[in-house]
Amino acid sequence: MRIWMKRGLILLLLAMVLASCGKAPAEKPAETGAAFQTVTAEEGKAMLEEDPVIILLDVRTPEEFAEGHIAGAIRITDSELEAEAPRQLPDKDAKILIYCRSGRRSRASAQKLVDMGYTQVYDMGGIIDWPYEIVK
Q: What is the domain class of 24-129 according to CATH? A: alpha beta
**Side chain identity at 123, as an amino acid letter?**
D
Q: Is the pLDDT of residue 3 over 80?
A: no
**Known catalytic residue at 100:** yes
Q: What is the pLDDT of residues 58-94, one digit of tens each?
A: 999 999 999 999 999 999 999 999 999 999 999 999 9
Express the helix, strand and coil content of the chain in percent, nearest 5 each.
Answer: 45, 20, 35
Q: What is the pLDDT of residues 91-114, one digit of tens each?
A: 999 999 999 999 999 999 999 999
- Check: CB of residue 74 under 8 Å from CB of residue 56: yes
Q: Which helix (H) or strand (E) holds 37?
A: strand 36-38
Helix axes 81-88 and 104-115, enclosed angle (nearest 10): 60
* Active-site residue, selected from the candidate residues 41, 73, 100, 121: 100
Average pLDDT of span 5-18 = 47
